[in-house]
Amino acid sequence: MKIGIDISQIGYPGTGVSRYLKGLVDAITQFEREHTWFFFFSSLRNSLDPETRKKIQDSGHRLFTYPFPPRLLSFLWNDLHRMPVERLIGDVDWFITSDWTEPPSNTRKATVIHDLVFLQYPETVDPKILQTQKKRMRWVQNESDLIFCDSIATKHDVVKFLRLDEYKLETIYPGVTVMKPSEADVSRTLLRYGLTRPFILTVGKIEPRKNIKRLVDAFLSLDPQRANMDLVIVGPSGWGGSEFTMDKRIKLLGFVKDEELFSLYASCLFFVYPSLYEGFGYPIVEAMKLGCPVVTSNVSSLREIGQDCAYLFDPTNTSDIRKALQTLFFDESLRRSLVGKGLEKSHSFTWKNCYSHVITLLEKQTL
């Protein structure tokens, strides 16, 4: 088979979609031996990172790059729905569309739906993103032959909000890749950010859906004499922001490199993820893979992934978040138990498994 895939969103490092595409591309270039993949990348300002470009070229697959602005492609494909993608990459047997645009095609189409936050919590989404996703989803509903969902929770949301037939939907968990940091890496990271006391860690854009304000309120309500720890917040500012009370025990680091993030996971007391909604929740699996106890929300995919291996709380209830923080801080045996359960659960989230599931479904539908 010839399989086309839009990897344009890989040009936005730090986002979940970019991380997903990079992992999938790595798996395709490493394990694919039978089929030829046609990688489509378009951006006016962002470029494909040299490492990914080299992997594609060395693997014998084909790469097509174009300097089209994202807004232009969105207007051309989501609004006008003109110019089949084959005019840019040639004929293929399948085309897998991106998280941003839905081009017309003369062949079978598959797409990945990471989440439906724009329908579930529209008030937490940038209006431009909201309108783009709504336009794209109209074409997905009418034209997609296969839809890959990042979790069972996302699959249920697709059925609920998009009214799509379940036979088109498949749950395929993404892979999660981490690198275990050395003791020197950990020491260097802690020194750089001045982290000298025990700390709990949270990761995510500072925006309403990530629910950082409630987490901060819950943390500050703890007795600092008994719960002697800091709260470290990693992540850039997002749309809509999120105002919360600052305190000397709160360390706001902004965006950090993966190497430093892995060191923070490996050295924190526990990891807390209070998001109101996630299609998958990469950070909780990253934390589990690095031997970190996880405390997370009992909603959407977070409950699905964290069931039986994480401490769950109601993210809309500040008192419940406070109870979770207090429980994990004082219960060392619980933390050890969650580390073991998390490590075991995390082993199944590999990019080889994800790729194998995708290619099996495409082959089955082609017969």
Per-residue model confidence as pLDDT tens digits over 311-364: 999 999 999 999 999 999 999 999 999 999 999 999 999 999 999 999 999 999
Whether the per-residue pLDDT at 124 is higher than 70: the answer is yes
**Domain spans in the chain, listed from the N-terminal domain onward:** 2-175+350-366, 183-346
Helix, strand, coil percentages (3-state) for the chain, rounded to 5, are 45, 15, 35
Q: Are strands 270-273 and 250-254 parallel, antiparallel or unpaired?
A: unpaired
- What is d(CA 284, CA 328) in angstroms, rounded to the nearest whole number? 16
Topology match between the domains 2-175+350-366 and 183-346: yes
Length of the chain: 367
pLDDT tens-place string over residues 158-215: 999 998 888 999 999 999 999 999 999 999 999 999 999 999 999 988 888 899 999 9
Model-level pTM greater than 0.85? yes
Helix (H) or strand (E) holding 326: helix 318-330
Mean pLDDT of 2-29: 92
Calpha distance 191→186 (Å, rounded): 9
CATH number for the domain running over 183-346: 3.40.50.2000
Distance, in Å, from the CA atom of 201 to the CA atom of 212, rounded to the nearest integer, reads 11
> What CATH number has the domain spanning 2-175+350-366?
3.40.50.2000
CA-to-CA distance for 168 and 108, rounded, in angstroms?
Answer: 12
